[in-house]
């Protein structure tokens, strides 16, 4: 330590929660509440200390859902997630489901409204309502929030009375149990920059071979005419195909064309599958159907009956004019082509452009623009009943650090609430059975 720096503070706690994002706050509240139910004894109730590097807590909660915070979804099943094992994900979601999340927040005075998509938002339309409720609940559960204080390393000595040591920028903290909730790598400026994976490894865990941005916009080739369509939003079916052209995944939803390429729910949802497929199959690609409700056969029949109408105008009845023009040009048609002069090859080329448009994606916009992370600590290394580590007893993991990521729609927060609640409750209960 440089000579002009004050000596590090030495602290001990029963439960350390690293850190205080969505999963960490929920874990700390659940742990704090559980410790308050500790049977009266000679010992004071166990202490809960949550440490976070952020100056202002809850950055991601505040930006979520465009500042409205999409807290959960009215129907959450394992099918909305990808990760190590759907079975494990289902078992977690059964232990703390949507009804539990709503009850938890309702008890804190947060009411919800449901949108047509099934997304649930606070009736105030303000993410601040959600964060304030969590911070009040943490205070009421006697959680000590220590921030800004960034953790630099963690160590585990199973034989010590306080087996976990966290070294932060200003303190050395010894804890009897540790809840690791450092998040993944999405939105690194919020403080979640992936250092948590180093901590998990130091505590004996593995990390999946690939860590990708998920729920991330995609960049298309500089020369793609799609870039010139910036600002258009329309429903599109986007399909992931293997190099062999085998269909792997598909999402149909609103898609936004932007100055860099593609965004919107369908693109965000398929992005993690695309990035994952590309690690093993360089030929994996995305194909767009700009008229998802229409069959190729019926469109072909219509094209055959166009007579003197122009295909470009016919397409304009169904799609924004700028896109219709781009697709006709892509198919090699000029503006003067009419139904009468349209050849079979031109029809096929136009239908390919409209219904099977290969998207010239070059990369994702990276973690800076991602909403979550694909990959992390495999669930096989966690006991799902408690979220306790199978490698380091007394260690619990929750939230985005785990190898589970959900679709757009509130599924990622539901994962954070569920795993956080299970981990916090179990970590506190574990202390009831051990002597301090």
Ligand X SMILES: Cc1cc2nc3c(=O)[nH]c(=O)nc-3n(C[C@H](O)[C@H](O)[C@H](O)COP(=O)(O)OP(=O)(O)OC[C@H]3O[C@@H](n4cnc5c(N)ncnc54)[C@H](O)[C@@H]3O)c2cc1C
> Binding to ligand X by residue 196, rule CB under 6 A?
yes
Residue 20 as a binder of ligand X (CB under 6 A): the answer is yes
Of the pair 57, 284, the CB lying nearest ligand X is at: 57
H-only helix segments in 108-194: 127-140
CA atoms within 13 A on the CB side of 326: 18
Which of 191, 217, 375, 376 is the binder for ligand X (CB under 6 A)? Answer: 191
- Asked if residues 284 and 277 have their Cβ atoms less than 8 Å apart, the reply is yes
Tokens of 63: 């930006």
For ligand X, the closer CB: 214 or 219: 214
**Structure tokens of 426?**
């179990």
425's tokens:
């409750």
CB distance 72 to 413 below 8 Å:
yes
CA dihedral sign, ordered 427, 429, 431, 433: negative
Tokens of 38: 């500790």
CB of 54 to ligand X, least distance (A): 4
108 contributes a contact to ligand X by CB under 6 A: no
Q: Report yes or no: 30 and 424 within 8 Å, Cβ to Cβ.
A: yes
Q: What is the largest CA-CA distance in the chain?
A: 93
**21 belongs to the binding site for ligand X (CB under 6 A):** yes
The reply on whether position 98 binds ligand X by CB under 6 A is no
Instruction: Tell which one of 333, 359, 416, 428 touches ligand X (CB under 6 A).
Output: 416
Q: Pick between residue 38 and residue 174 the one whose CB is nearest to ligand X.
A: 174
CB closer to ligand X out of 73 and 347: 73
The answer to whether 115 and 2 have CB atoms below 8 angstroms apart is no
263 binds ligand X per the rule CB under 6 A: no
According to the binding rule CB under 6 A, does residue 151 interact with ligand X? yes
The least distance separating ligand X from the CB of residue 38, rounded to whole angstroms, comes to: 25
271 binds ligand X (CB under 6 A): no
Closest CB to ligand X among 271 and 289?
Answer: 271
Q: Hunting for tokens 């269909």 — which residue is that?
A: 247
CB-CB neighbours of 401 under 10 Å: 28
Q: Which x/- pattern over 27-56 shows residues binding ligand X (rule: CB under 6 A)?
A: -------------------------xxx--
In the chain, count H helices and then E strands: 12, 23
Residue 173 in contact with ligand X, rule: CB under 6 A: no
- Tell me how many residues contact ligand X (CB under 6 A): 36
Q: Is there binding between residue 93 and ligand X (CB under 6 A)?
A: no
Residue 199 CA to residue 276 CA, distance in Å, equals: 24
Residue closer to ligand X by CB (options 63, 294) is: 63
Segment contacting ligand X by CB under 6 A, of 18-26, 133-141, 268-276, 286-294? 18-26
Euclidean distance between CA atoms 130 and 138, whole angstroms: 12
Distance CA 350, CA 366 (A): 33
Here the tokens at position 430 are 């574990």
Site for ligand X (CB under 6 A): which residue of 35, 47, 70, 404? Answer: 70
Cβ 212 to ligand X, closest distance in Å? Answer: 14
**Cα 145 to Cα 48, 137, 152, 175, distances in angstroms:** 9, 12, 17, 15
Please identify, among the stretches 37-45, 242-250, 333-341, 408-416, the one whose residues bind ligand X according to the rule CB under 6 A.
408-416
- Of all residues in the shown chain, the one whose CB is closest to ligand X is 21
Q: Give CA torsion, residues 44, 46, 47, 52, to 10 deg.
A: 180
Tokens encoding 51: 């440490």
**By three-state DSSP, how is residue 253 classified?**
strand
Least distance from ligand X to the Cβ atom of residue 405, Å: 8
Residue 187 interacting with ligand X (CB under 6 A)? yes
CB of 293 to ligand X, least distance (A): 28
Candidates 78, 269, 400, 403; binder of ligand X (CB under 6 A) is: 400
Residues forming the site for ligand X (CB under 6 A):
19-24, 52-54, 60, 63-65, 69-70, 150-151, 181-183, 186-187, 190-192, 195-196, 371-372, 399-400, 410-413, 416
């Amino acid at each position: 330590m440089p000579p002009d720096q004050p000596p590090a503070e030495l602290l001990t706690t029963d439960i350390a929660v690293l850190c205080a994002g969505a999963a960490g706050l929920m874990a700390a509240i659940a742990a704090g509440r559980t410790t308050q139910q500790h049977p009266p004894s000679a010992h004071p109730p166990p202490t809960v200390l949550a440490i976070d590097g952020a100056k202002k807590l809850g950055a991601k909660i505040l930006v979520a859902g465009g500042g409205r915070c999409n807290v959960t979804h009215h129907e959450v099943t394992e099918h909305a997630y990808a990760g190590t094992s759907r079975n494990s994900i289902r078992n977690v979601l059964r232990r703390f489901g949507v009804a539990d999340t709503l009850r938890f927040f309702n008890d804190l005075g947060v009411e919800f409204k449901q949108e047509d998509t099934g997304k649930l938002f606070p009736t105030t339309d303000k993410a601040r309502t959600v964060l304030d409720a969590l911070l009040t609940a943490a205070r009421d559960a006697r959680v000590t929030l220590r921030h800004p204080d960034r953790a630099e390393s963690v160590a585990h000595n199973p034989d010590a009375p306080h087996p976990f040591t966290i070294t932060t920028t200003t303190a050395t903290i010894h804890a009897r149990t540790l809840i690791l909730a450092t998040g993944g790598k999405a939105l690194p400026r919020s403080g979640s920059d992936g250092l948590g994976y180093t901590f998990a490894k130091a505590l004996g865990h593995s990390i999946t071979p690939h860590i990708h941005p998920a729920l991330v916009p995609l960049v298309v080739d500089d020369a793609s005419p799609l870039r010139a369509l910036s600002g258009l939003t329309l429903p599109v079916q986007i399909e992931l195909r293997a190099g062999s052209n085998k269909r792997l995944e598909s999402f149909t939803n609103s898609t936004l064309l932007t100055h860099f390429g593609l965004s919107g729910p369908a693109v965000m949802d398929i992005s993690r599958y695309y990035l994952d497929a590309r690690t093993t199959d360089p030929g994996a690609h995305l194909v767009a159907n700009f008229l998802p409700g229409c069959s190729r056969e019926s469109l072909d029949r219509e094209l055959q009956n166009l007579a003197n109408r122009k295909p470009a105008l016919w397409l304009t009845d169904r799609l924004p004019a700028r896109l219709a023009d781009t697709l006709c040009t892509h198919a090699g048609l000029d503006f003067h082509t009419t139904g009468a002069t349209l050849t079979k090859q031109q029809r096929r080329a136009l239908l390919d452009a409209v219904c099977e448009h290969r998207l010239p994606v070059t990369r994702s916009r990276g973690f800076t623009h991602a909403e979550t992370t694909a990959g992390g600590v495999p669930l096989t290394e966690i006991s799902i009943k408690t979220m306790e580590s199978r490698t380091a007893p007394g260690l619990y993991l929750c939230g985005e650090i785990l190898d589970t990521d959900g679709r757009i729609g509130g599924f990622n927060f539901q994962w954070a609430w569920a795993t956080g609640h299970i981990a916090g409750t179990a970590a506190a209960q574990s202390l009831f059975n051990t002597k301090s």
